[in-house]
Structure 1
Amino acid sequence: MGRFIGLDIHRDFAQVAVVEDGFVTDWGRVGCRPQAMREFAANLRRDDQVALEATGNATAVAVLLEPHVAKVVISNPVKTRAIAEAKVKTDKVDARILAQLLAADFLPGTWLPDERTRMLRRLSSHRAQLVRGRIQVKNQVQAVLHRNMLPHPPVTDLFGTRGRAWLEHQPLPVDERETVDALLRQLDFYGQELAAVERRLAVEALDDPVVKRLMTIPGVDAMTAVTLLAAVGDFQRFTSADKLVSYLGLNPRVRQSGGAPAHHGRITKAGCGKARGMLVQAAFAALRSPGPLRALHQRIKARRGMQIAIVAVARKIAVIAWHLVTKDQDYAFARPSLVAFKRRKLELTAGAERRIARRGPGYDYNNKDLRRQEREIAEQAERAYAVLAAHWQTQRPAGNPRLPAIPGAANPSL
């Protein structure tokens, strides 16, 4: 039988503990540099198993060790602490706990993504940082206008051509004018970097069948689709849509004990916050198009309010995404001209040549009659969902009124 090795990883070193034949021993420290980790991996056996806690460099260490051992498990740090919370916490204790949990086959692991997924995650994370930085710069400019009692700009986009022209003629103290000019230079820098990152993401997403399929969902553009793909990786590893929703942190917290009814709280917000935020943005965008998603929002908004309804739509988009990818199907209520328009926008972001005065893919979106026909079909689907939801109610099992209600049981009088 192979050995079970636990690594408590830090930036410069990793503490090593081994379980062999039921005994735990300490192997001391090994350097957390590529060459040192390769030398450590060369001394391992093919039937060994290695466990390490999820940290910033855990994936890189796992990639180096994986070819030399039978299995590498990156443990979920939250669940690991919940399983084995020690009063005395040292590097040796943590390494021993990892090795012992691995030997007992009681270590909750995380999925190890492939190289392309790791690259997409890095790019999407960089994009999210640039977007946050740009928002902070814009807020600072608005703060300058606010503290100098200047009116709201007469244009929609303060940072567009007309907005900057208006901003240039506003009376500001010399130091505030210098601050605004510096902030605008920062904004231009963020814009250039963001365009470069989005181009790289667009190139990766251009021929990806998953991204192409996700873009058929209303509100989901290329950047939302590639961010979701980077966060999820392989959709097939989730056996149900509910597991994907839980992975993205869009499921409510549930507390239940004994015979008391279950209490549902706020969403858990576990998993990738970038993907969850992009899904919420997609939910807002989906409300501008007719269809079942908008009808779902209106139904829940009437009972629970705007915020809960938006989160419900984001959750529904995640559920739809799982079904589309795992079943190799496009969204049933997609608008073909809009999907072609989003596809063409992705091609332009990736650097495709612009066709000036020539009709190309996505041009049909400019046909008002075609857009009207597609909207009428989507509105029909929206009304059908509204009628279905209006006659949808919970029904308790016959003969035992104390049992919980069965959600979604149709009204037998219909």
Structure 2
Amino acid sequence: MFMTQTMRWFGPNDPVSLQGIRQSGAREVVTALHEVPNGDVWTLDAIRVRRAEIEAAGLGWTVVESLPVHEDIKRRGADWDRLIDHYRTSLANLAAGGVSVVTYNFMPLLDWTRTDLAWELPDGARALRFEQEAVAAYDLHILGRSGAADDYAPAMVEGAACRFAAMDDDARRRLSRTIIAGLPGSEESFTDADFLAAVGSYDGIDAAQLRANHVAFLEAVCPVAEQHGIRLVVHPDDPPFPIFGLPRVVSTEADVADLFAKVPSAANGLCLCTGSFGVRADNDLPGMVERLGTRIGFLHLRSVQREPNGAFHEAAHLEGDAAMVDVMRAVVALQRREGRSIPMRPDHGHQMLDDLGRDTNPGYSLLGRMRGLAELRGLERGMAAALDG
């Protein structure tokens, strides 16, 4: 029993073709109807059209990433009832269209956030990187969020001021675009002014309230997911701590365990991302696979290298701080124990070789992910052979 190997595909406009993904060794793609505005219904006809395109390339599609949760659901806004009804309808349509796992996140406003999309590694490849000081420079001196200085240590405030002063206009615009202008799979794209206003829309919503809103969302949609055989899997916060004064509530094992305790539905599951959880040294990744395994419906296997002062960058899949050998050992044991194949994808691969000269989505070039997929495939097969030996 081996993992179902997948690769993310952003639809017909993705620079990486379905043929390229098939040649990487992946059996399925993980995708979404990115062209549908957040909050609108995913129709069964649109789902079937996308499936036909995927299957014509010789690939399967059982995992959606992501069916976005509208901000008015996260904020429990006035349009909550209508948006929940749309989400339920989309889940039913996805089930009718052959999808069994639906990924979502509950991060306010921003999906995954980085401050450098092409950080050069010693071997010349490029990686995604996050620096807290760069976030502080943007927050304090470009965004101008009220009270932002209270969220950073004095040394960070001072460092951010020096960093901002040393940046020219192009560097400041580039930092702004990198953080808020929209990334692959992100739900929104903002100008600085739009983003400041959107942050203000979360005034009065602290972590406790956001958790309550998350529970209310799951209580409203899980019965429909159960009825139609859908497993909803939440992606953890990336990075797994508050930014821009916005709370984040899916950052630790304790956060996830609390969510499962409050909403015990079998449809309430986890997308275990070893990169997102792995930014925090207090997240025991192999232990999380063992303890949360029954709830894991999807795996993002990637690694980050932690750096001082809250910075990190995307490491090679078998390197960095993810303890991937131990994680894989736990995954192999979980699949054997439960008799199921868990969908997996490599994530945020390095931009390398020929892809250095191509325009590809940040973190989603073909060759870096193909390297990661090959390494993970070999690790799993070797681990299984050792256990059988």
TM-score scaled by length of structure 2 = 0.27
Larger Rg: 1
TM-score scaled by length of structure 1 = 0.26
Q: Which has the higher strand share?
A: 2
